[in-house]
Amino acid sequence: MSERPTTDASATLRQRLERGGIVIAPGVYDMISAKLADRMRFEALYMTGYGTVASHLGLPDAGLASYTDMVGRVATICGGTTTPLVADADTGYGGLLNVRHTVRGYEKAGAQAIQIEDQETPKKCGHTTGRRVVPTADMVAKVKVAVEARASRDTLIIARTDARTALGLDEALRRGEAYARAGADLVFVESPETEDELRRIGAALRGAWLVANVVQAGARTPEVPSQTLQEMGYKLAIYPSLPHKVAVAAMKTTYEYLQQHGTAIGLPLPLATSPEMHSLMGFEDVWAFEKTCERFAEAPVAPKANEPAR
């Protein structure tokens, strides 16, 4: 488990995006995934709504998690990592007042980029059917409120449109342009259905910083390498579902093997060792603290003035 370069620790995500190229952000959904990704050489992490709701509540990503549920996860992840976090904030959890409250809360919790989408409430995962979007003007107002609500310009606002599936790509592009004009720092056109559509988005919204959602195994959008996405004009490539899909497949294989064989001996999967897990979760700090406490207990206590030594 390689450590992140210390030279990146003080750079904000905005500063990194301004340098050019494409930023790859793996999905994180709990503190094990977040701590592990934080140790790698990534320049951003993406708190996936789907994975976080599934891990925290065991529920589908269908608008069932509340602001309170999610801002708590943002705070926990940011408190235990140093990599800039991009955080999914669904629709902003309500109307304009809710959007302002959400942006302020996510920013205070440590998120460096906050993603808000134009779906109706309750929202649904962007790679499922039946999604409906609000009028463009309503989302434009949300974007303006979000931009106004942030305390720092370094906090990025990502405006996502889910219009492609129900209303077509042309409408999604019109919305992307409107959201960029309203002040969104990044524009995210969800679930294009071909590589040509990805390319059209890059060409049509060339003046905006663009987000590509790279989803594997049965998604609506074909997977395209990040280098190709960069050539198309994208600035941020998120991989929200990759870690939890890999984890679920590995756990399923493990449970089936244990059930069939009554042992984990011979399991055809790599395992993190106990020392690796101890290091990831921070046991070195616990052990160092315990040694300090032992020295405190061994050290004699100096008597107070005018108090006889014992």
How many other CB atoms are found less than 10 A from the CB of residue 177? Answer: 16
CA distance 155 to 144: 14
Report if pTM > 0.85: yes
Give the model's pLDDT for residue 130.
Answer: 74
The architecture (CATH level 2) of 6-248 comes to Alpha-Beta Barrel (3.20)
* Cβ proximity of 213 and 190 under 8 Å: yes
Q: Would you state the pLDDT for residue 5?
A: 41
- Nearest-CA neighbor of 169 among 185, 136, 143, 191? 191
Give the residue among 140, 66, 71 at the shortest CA–CA distance from 104. 71
Residue 114 is predicted with a pLDDT of 98
Please provide the size of the chain in residues: 310
pLDDT of residue 144: 98
Cis peptide preceding 243, ω within 30 of 0? no
pLDDT in tens, the chain (310 residues): 434 444 455 789 999 999 999 999 999 999 999 999 999 989 999 999 999 999 999 999 888 999 999 999 999 999 999 999 999 999 999 999 999 999 999 999 999 999 999 998 888 786 777 789 999 999 999 999 999 999 999 999 999 999 999 999 999 999 999 999 999 999 999 989 999 999 999 999 998 999 999 988 778 888 999 999 999 999 999 999 999 999 999 999 999 999 999 999 999 999 999 999 999 999 999 999 999 998 877 766 666 766 655 5
Token pair, residue 153, equals 């310009």
